[in-house]
């Protein structure tokens, strides 16, 4: 009998991509082969995201397509994984095309659930765990360039920002054992990987339960010490707990990348309070000052929500002025999208009209374009150590890579190869890319 195949399609954040790699590993352990050809698959998994309404709409559209596809492939099994499975439970379970639903903490149960499905029944496990970290499961590397990989260091979130579903879909915060994280990083380095990104909903809350003094700063330092050729990144940080201790460690090690993603969400203290972000505009600016003082060459990126409940034009102007003051290098920008059962949905009116949200979002995007371009122009003439990770999409004669600040840099290939570190002097730029050429450093 030929080997069964599973196709995994992932929506949403990096954590979800990392989870799909755990799922891939569990499926391999029960003799499934991973395929990138949906037509070959016996099982299709959609690993879903609930963060915004349009993320769920995309999955619903995909399910409608798969429903028709399944009519011609009656043996095909379709599983819905991740946050939508957790949030919608019965509602999505009753969807005709879906054979199984599995929440983010229940992937170890996949072999049992698939047995149930093979016996002709539907199956579900959406139980959230207080301990599950999949610590010892070695993820299969999907989307593999052989250079960069994600390592999940913690799961869940207990910050309860009023707009966010994550605490409900991913449950209690828990940290993975340092030993398994460090071993995974060492193993990746030995396999030729040169860049790892430590992932968690709020990495600064990392704390090992058997030794509470082993916090994120200590973990980051332990990873940096594996080898100077292994670069380390991390995401995401919460502004309320980005400490000077952490910033000093980032400054100390050349291989800890000088790029911090620090979601601000709004520049107005009034709106931040309503969002339950637990910091003010002044606190955020104080942290930015600390970053710029301790790590002068550090890039800062952010997330911004336009049109949260009750946001006035003055609040919106506060966001624009904070963006100017910080000079973000990059930003992910969205219109507020109410999520059912969150505190915001229960207590506040989603009262900013859609056309105003759109207008504010456009202004935020426009400003960010200028800021990104200004930041890149400021890099012209500087030299960066770039880790080459692919052939440029526009020319086979060029390589593309990232500098420590996480900016994309394109340069002539010459005799350089993917996975090389190359010193590149920047000669030109767009708002999205730095362009340069290799230089020898004496």
Given the rule CB under 6 A, which residues bind ligand SF4? 157, 159-161, 164, 166-167, 201-202, 238
Nearer to ligand SF4, 62 or 172 (CB): 172
Q: How far is the CB of 302 from ligand SF4 (least distance, A)?
A: 12
Minimal distance in Å, beta carbon 281 to ligand SF4? 17
Q: Compute the least distance from the CB of residue 201 to ligand SF4, in Å.
A: 4
The smaller minimum CB distance to ligand SF4, of residues 70 and 339, is found at 339
Q: Which two three-digit tokens encode residue 186?
A: 């060492």
Give whichever of 24 and 104 is closer to ligand SF4, judged by the CB atom. Answer: 104
* Residue 125 β-bridge partners: 102
Quick check: helix, strand or coil at residue 158? coil
Cα separations in angstroms, 283 against 40, 278, 288, 290, 386: 53, 10, 9, 11, 33
The smaller minimum CB distance to ligand SF4, of residues 50 and 406, is found at: 50
Count Cβ atoms within 10 A of the Cβ of residue 62 and give its class: 0-12 exposed, 13-18 middle, 19 or more buried: middle
| Distance from C-alpha of 379 to C-alpha of 386, rounded to nearest angstrom | 13
Nearest CB to ligand SF4, comparing residues 21 and 173: 173
What token pair was written down for 172? 């209690």
Cβ 164 to ligand SF4 shortest distance, Å: 3
Q: Backbone dihedral region of 111: left (phi > 0), alpha (psi from -120 to 50 degrees) or beta?
A: alpha
Give whichever of 339 and 413 is closer to ligand SF4, judged by the CB atom. 339
Q: How far is the CB of 410 from ligand SF4 (least distance, A)?
A: 32
Residue 343 CA, chain-centre distance (Å), reads 23
User: Which tokens belong to 51?
Assistant: 């963060």
Written as six digits, the tokens of 366 are 């426009």
Contacts of 240 (CB under 8 A, 6+ apart): 277, 278, 279, 283
The answer to whether 303 touches 361, Cβ cutoff 8 Å, is: no
Q: Which is nearer to ligand SF4, 201 or 268 (CB)?
A: 201
Q: How far is the CB of 226 from ligand SF4 (least distance, A)?
A: 28
Relative orientation angle of helices 216-224 and 244-252, to the nearest 10 degrees: 0
Pairwise CA distance, residues 247 & 251, whole Å? 6
- Classify residue 63 as exposed, middle or buried by CB count within 10 Å of its CB (0-12, 13-18, 19+): buried
Nearer of residues 152 and 404 to ligand SF4, judged by Cβ: 152
Dist CA 330 CA 318 (whole Å): 18
Least distance CB 383 / ligand SF4 (angstroms): 36
> Is 85 strand, coil or helix?
helix
Instruction: Between 7 and 279, name the residue whose CB sits nearer to ligand SF4.
Output: 279
Q: Is the peptide bond before 366 cis (omega within 30 degrees of 0)?
A: no
Q: Closest distance between ligand SF4 and the C-beta of residue 173, in Å? A: 9
CB of 158 to ligand SF4, least distance (A): 8
| 73 or 159: CB nearest ligand SF4 | 159
Whether 139 and 18 have beta carbons less than 8 Å apart is answered as yes
Residue 265 DSSP symbol: B
In whole angstroms, the minimum distance from the beta carbon of 283 to ligand SF4 comes to: 15
User: What distance in Å separates the CA atoms of residue 95 and residue 340, rounded to the nearest whole number?
Assistant: 19
Contact between residue 124 and residue 92 where contact means Cβ atoms under 8 Å apart = no
Q: Hey, how many other C-beta atoms are within 10 angstroms of the C-beta on 315?
A: 21
């Amino acid at each position: 009998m030929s080997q069964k195949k599973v196709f995994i399609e992932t929506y949403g954040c990096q954590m979800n991509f990392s989870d799909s790699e755990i799922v891939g590993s569990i499926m391999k352990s029960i003799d499934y082969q991973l395929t990138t050809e949906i037509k070959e698959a016996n099982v299709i998994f959609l690993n879903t995201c609930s963060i915004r309404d349009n993320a769920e709409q995309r999955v619903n559209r995909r399910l409608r397509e798969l429903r028709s596809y399944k009519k011609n492939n009656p043996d095909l099994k379709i599983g819905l994984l991740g946050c939508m499975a957790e949030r919608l439970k019965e509602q999505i379970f009753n969807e005709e095309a879906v054979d199984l639903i599995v929440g983010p903490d229940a992937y170890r149960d996949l072999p049992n659930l698939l047995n149930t499905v093979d016996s002709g029944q539907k199956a579900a496990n959406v139980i959230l765990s207080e301990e599950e970290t999949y610590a010892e499961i070695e993820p299969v590397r999907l989307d593999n360039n052989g250079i960069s990989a994600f390592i999940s260091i913690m799961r869940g979130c207990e910050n309860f920002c009023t707009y966010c579903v994550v605490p409900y879909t991913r449950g209690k915060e828990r940290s993975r054992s340092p030993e398994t994280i460090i071993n995974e990083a060492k193993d990746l380095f030995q396999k030729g990987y040169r860049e790892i990104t430590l992932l968690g909903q709020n990495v600064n809350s990392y704390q090992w339960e058997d030794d509470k003094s082993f916090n994120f700063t200590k973990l980051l330092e332990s990873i940096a010490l594996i080898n100077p050729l292994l670069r380390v990144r991390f995401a995401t940080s919460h502004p309320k707990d980005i400490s000077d201790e952490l910033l000093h460690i980032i400054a100390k090690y050349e291989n800890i990348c000088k790029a911090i993603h620090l979601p601000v969400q709004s520049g107005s203290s009034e709106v931040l309070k309503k969002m339950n972000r637990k910091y003010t505009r002044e606190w955020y600016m104080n942290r930015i000052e600390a970053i710029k003082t301790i790590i002068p060459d550090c890039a800062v990126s952010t997330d911004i929500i336009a049109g949260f409940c009750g946001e006035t034009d003055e609040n919106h102007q506060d966001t624009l002025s904070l963006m100017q003051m910080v000079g973000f290098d990059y930003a992910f920008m969205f219109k507020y999208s109410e999520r059912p059962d969150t505190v915001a949905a229960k207590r506040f009116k989603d009262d900013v009209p859609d056309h105003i949200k759109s207008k504010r979002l456009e202004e935020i995007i426009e400003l960010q374009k200028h800021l990104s371009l200004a930041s890149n122009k400021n890099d012209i003439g500087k030299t960066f150590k770039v880790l080459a990770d692919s052939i440029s999409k526009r020319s086979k004669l060029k390589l593309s890579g990232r500098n420590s600040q996480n900016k994309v840099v394109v340069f002539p290939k010459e005799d350089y190869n993917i996975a090389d570190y190359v010193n590149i002097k920047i000669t030109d730029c767009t708002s999205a890319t730095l362009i340069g050429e290799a230089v020898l450093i004496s």
